[in-house]
Structure 1
Amino acid sequence: MEQDPGSFEFGLNQVSVFALYRHNLLVTFHEHRNENRGNWVQRVEERVRNNTEEVRGKDLSHLLYAVIDSVTDRYFPLLEFYGDRMEELESALVDDPDPELIKGITRLKRDLLLVRRTVWPMRECTSRLMVLSDDIIRKGTKMYLRDLQDHLVQVVDILETYRDVSMSLLDLYLSATNNKMQEVMKTLTIISTIFIPLTFITGVYGMNFEYMPELSWPFSYLIFWIFVIAIIMSQLYYFHRLGWT
């Protein structure tokens, strides 16, 4: 498994494990094109080299556990990365619900589902190893496998939680978009409400009647603008009292 902290992409690397008990041999097959994909191998080598958990003096089943445990540990940095990513998406949605964020949310949901599909078989595999006979999996190793299964259950639970959060992010985007649209409609409503009486006044005095005494007044033009400004100011004050501005 590979994750890039600076981006929103990750890759999966399949690891095949074959335990040949008759020959006391454990064979793994995996592909890695760079150093990051081989980190789990290095962790197993360090355990053997440093004799962590006295792995050298134990049987093949414990080495099998060490391989699965090293692969499982690779999930936690990925989960931490996606947790931080969801916080970033949530903050961005609250500040500015950009439609481009939908792509990030959709990709997040897709990746979480893909990771869950890879973790679930490992959980089932660990459960089956625990019920094998003591001749194949020793009791001491089964204790470690129980701890490993708890880690896998924890990973699955976190993935389920993140999946629910990703759904809530989509709801948050829709809610933020609706709120933004309501603000736009409120602004348009205020502008329309202000210009409705002004349009009526200009429409009345724009008609071509032969006799309109107001047009012959010496200060009719000034009175018109005073009246218009008074209407605008009174409406703005009223909207301010309502909390619209």
Structure 2
Amino acid sequence: MKDFDITRPDKLLFSGLKSLVSLPISLYTDQKSKAKGSGQVSFIGEKKVEEVTTQHYLYNSDTLDIVNENAHDTFPKNLDDKKTHWLNIYGLHDVQLIEKLCTDLKLDRITLRHVLDTTLRPKVEAYDSYLFFSIKSVLREGDEDLKVEQVSFILSHNYVISFQEEVGDHFDHIRNKIVEKLGLVRTKKADFLVYQLLDAILDNYYETIEWINTEVEQIQRQIFKEPSQDLLIRMEHMKQLAQTIKKALTPFKDSLRIIGSSDSKFILKDTDKYFMELISSSEGAIDEVQSTLNSLESLTNVYFSSLSQKMNETMKVLTTVATIFIPLTFIAGVYGMNFEYMPELKFHYGYHVVWGVMGMTFVAMFIYFKRKKWL
């Protein structure tokens, strides 16, 4: 059992909040156990599309062909060395389709397992005929959550295969560049296409971080006006999202470093500078999300400080009121005693005098507290 620091009640509160707002993380242990027990290649993850679809772009500086139907079947047969080939696959649950593709391209069976395992930590593996690497893509989903998706790539001399868990708009602008012949993508080789794909995913990270920063700014404006428990839960949720991004970005950067620093024959010399730019951008994204986490931590401290200040103000008022009424209660108590021979009981104006003494006592103490700025 986890031990809690009882001297920090905010930690106890956080432990409860995390159970409410933390992102669900499923390691699919049952699927992994069955796959290991059977010895067969299996898909591990959540089925996010009903049907696996594929798309094949064949291009060079002069020509462009697009295959949208059964592209996975025609792809291995049309690998013309004079063109760059990009096969994009939406959906990973069709094991037979992906296994046949890997067999036709003579890819290692370990690569097949890694493509089908969406819980895999991002990694880079170099083979004689290709380079495999997988990363995590993070996108905003709705107004409160993130969508984390594994994207895998296979890079060879003249082709790129990208595996996505579901249909998304990560690479729509790259397709437009290829179709409209914009930029350098049509004049470069497969390694430059990979750079473009990775750059698009990194842009999504920046957009998501910017969204979280906007949310943090709104929280910051509200917390100084009226701190509430809803704000605390919202802060904790944003913190969880920022931590998720950081956990995905760090291995993303490490993978880029391995790709950029290795003397891979699949990354041409004139493309190295682009991968170095990606490494620098990923480091900037990590710094940005760390700054966001620091801001959220500061806001959390401000929240608890505000609560403490409000409690102190309340206690000060209550203590002041109680202090003022202590002598009044004493006077009322003295003259409420039922002794027969109390000297002032027979005084004709005793009642009025007592009220006058109590009133003057109240006024005097009120003025004193005001001068001391206790009220």
TM-score if structure 1 supplies the norm length? Answer: 0.88
- 1:25 equivalent among 146, 150, 159: 159
Tell me which amino acid in the other structure corresponds to 2:156.
L
C-alpha displacement at 1:236, in angstroms? Answer: 1.6
Give the corresponding residue for 1:120. Answer: 250
1 CA distance for matches of 2:184 and 2:140? 31
- Pick aligned residue for 1:137 from 219, 243, 267: 267
Equivalent in the alignment of 1:15 = 151
Alignment correspondent of 2:229: 99
User: How far, CA to CA, are the matches of 2:141 and 2:260 in structure 1?
Assistant: 34
Deviations 1:155-185 (A, max 9, x none): 0111222222222222222222221221121
How far 1:134 sits from its partner (Å)? Answer: 6.8
Structure-2 separation of matches of 1:82 and 1:32: 24
Q: Equivalent residues in 2 for 1:206-245 (5 A)?
A: 206-245=336-375
Equivalent residue number for residue 327 of structure 2: 197
Letter in 1 for 2:145: E
Unaligned runs of 5+ in 1: none
Shift in Å at residue 122 of structure 1? 1.6
Matched letter for residue 230 of structure 1: M
How far residue 220 of structure 1 moved from its aligned partner, in angstroms, is 2.6
SS at match of 2:362: helix
**Quick one: which amino acid aligns to residue 195 of structure 1?**
F
SS of aligned partner of 2:186? helix
Q: Distance in 1 between matches of 2:185 and 2:140?
A: 29
| 1:10 match: secondary structure | strand
Letter in 1 for 2:139: E
What secondary structure, in the 3-state scheme, does the structure 2 residue paired with 1:211 have? coil
Structure 1 residue ranges (4+ consecutive) displaced by more than 6 angstroms after TM superposition: none
Residue 143 of structure 1, CA deviation: 1.3
Deviates more, 1:8-17 or 1:44-53: 44-53
Give the deviation of 1:242 after TM superposition. Answer: 1.4
Q: Greater strand percent: which structure? A: 2
Length, aligned pairs only:
238
Secondary structure at 1:100 match in 2: helix
Distance 2:365 2:212 in 1: 49
187, 206, 212: which one pairs with 1:76? 206
Aligned to 2:139: 2
More deviation in 234-243 or 190-199? Answer: 234-243
Q: In 2, Cα distance between the equivalents of 1:92 and 1:143?
A: 44
Partner residue, 1:178: 308
SS where residue 74 of structure 1 aligns? Answer: helix
* More helix per residue: 1
Q: Distance in 2 between matches of 1:151 and 1:243?
A: 54
Identity over the aligned pairs, expressed in percent?
28
Measure, in 1, the Cα distance between the counterparts of 2:363 and 2:289: 56
Aligned-pair Cα RMSD in Å: 2.0
1:150, distance to aligned residue in structure 2 (A): 1.2
Q: Note the C-alpha offset of 1:4.
A: 4.8
Unpaired segments ≥5 residues, structure 2: 1-137
Aligned to 1:64: 194
The alignment's TM-score, normalised by the length of structure 2, stands at 0.59
Q: Which moved more, 1:184-193 or 1:45-54?
A: 45-54
TM superposition shift of 1:154? 0.3
